[in-house]
C-alpha cells in the first residue's frame, strides 16, 4: 500500500496557547510507540509524511521511532513536512529530521518555523540553528484564515476530505491522531475528531479502515 500524504499527530503536548489553535487545550499525551508500529503495517511507500501536534519538537523520540520503523520495514519515504512554533532551538528535532531526510527519496523535505501574527516571539537561536540545514524553509509574516475549531472563535468551517484509492494507492491525505484514530481531515479540534473518526489503527489495519469506509459511503 502506498499513501500520498500521511499526517501523524505525533503529540498533543504543546508549550504555547495560541488563540487561533484549532486543536483546543493541549493534552499530556504523545502517540504511543505501538500505535506507530501498527499504523505502518502494510505500507510500502509514503510520498509525504507530516508530523503535527501539538508541538512536534516535544516528541523527538517518536519521530526517531517512526524513522527506525520505516527503515526496518524498508518503507520508502519521499519527504517530510514539519511546522514548529520555534519557541526554543531544538537540537534533538533538527538532528532527528536531518537523519530522516538522509533516507528520503524525493528531496522535498520541509521544516518551517511559524512566523505569522500568532507566533511573533521567537528564540533568536532557533533560526540560526535550523537555517544551516537544506530542508529549512524561511517563511515571512503571513496571515492564514483560521479554522473555527478548538480555541479559535472565528474563521472558516472545517470540512471532511474525500478519499481516493486506485490500485492500492491512497491518493488522499490520511490523518492519524495521537490516539490512533483515522480522520479524513486535518482541520479539526480534539473534540471534533472523536465524532469524525472512521477507525483506529490499534484495532484494524489502516488499509482495511480506508476500504471499509469507502464501502459505507
pLDDT greater at residue 9 or residue 139: 9
28-41 pLDDT, tens per residue?
999 999 999 999 99
Residue 150, burial from CB neighbour count under 10 angstroms (0-12, 13-18, 19+): buried
pLDDT of residue 117: 60
Residue 39, burial from CB neighbour count under 10 angstroms (0-12, 13-18, 19+): buried
Angstrom distance (rounded) from CA 115 to CA 87: 11
Sign of CA dihedral 132, 65, 100, 169: negative
pLDDT of residue 7: 97
Q: Looking at residues 2-26, what average pLDDT do you find? A: 93
pLDDT of residue 36: 98
pLDDT of residue 116: 64
pLDDT at 124 over 80: no
pLDDT greater at residue 165 or residue 116: 165
pLDDT of residue 161: 83
Write the CA distances from 113 to 21, 24, 142, 169, integer angstroms.
Answer: 16, 20, 12, 31
Amino acid at each position: 500500500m502506498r499513501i500520498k500524504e500521511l499526517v501523524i499527530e505525533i503529540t498533543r503536548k504543546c508549550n504555547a496557547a495560541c488563540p487561533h489553535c484549532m486543536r483546543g487545550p493541549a493534552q499530556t499525551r504523545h502517540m504511543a510507540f505501538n500505535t506507530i508500529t501498527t499504523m505502518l503495517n502494510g505500507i510500502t511507500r509514503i510520498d509525504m509524511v507530516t508530523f503535527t501536534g501539538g508541538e512536534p519538537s516535544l516528541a523527538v523520540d517518536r519521530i526517531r521511532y517512526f524513522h527506525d520503523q520505516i527503515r526496518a520495514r524498508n518503507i520508502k519515504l519521499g519527504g517530510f513536512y514539519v511546522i514548529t512554533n520555534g519557541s526554543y532551538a531544538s537540537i534533538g528535532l533538527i538532528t532527528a529530521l536531518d537523519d530522516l531526510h538522509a533516507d528520503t527519496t524525493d528531496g522535498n523535505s520541509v521544516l518551517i518555523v511559524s512566523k505569522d501574527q500568532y507566533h511573533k516571539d521567537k528564540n533568536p537561536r532557533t533560526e540560526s540553528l535550523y537555517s544551516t540545514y537544506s530542508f529549512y524553509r524561511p517563511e515571512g509574516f503571513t496571515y492564514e484564515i483560521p479554522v473555527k475549531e478548538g480555541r479559535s472563535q472565528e474563521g472558516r468551517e472545517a470540512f471532511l476530505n474525500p478519499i481516493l484509492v486506485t490500485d492500492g494507492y491512497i491518493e488522499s491525505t490520511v490523518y492519524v491522531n495521537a490516539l490512533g484514530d483515522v480522520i479524513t481531515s486535518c482541520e479539526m479540534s480534539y473534540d471534533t475528531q472523536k465524532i469524525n473518526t472512521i477507525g483506529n489503527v490499534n484495532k484494524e489495519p489502516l488499509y482495511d479502515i480506508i476500504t471499509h469506509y469507502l464501502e459505507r459511503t
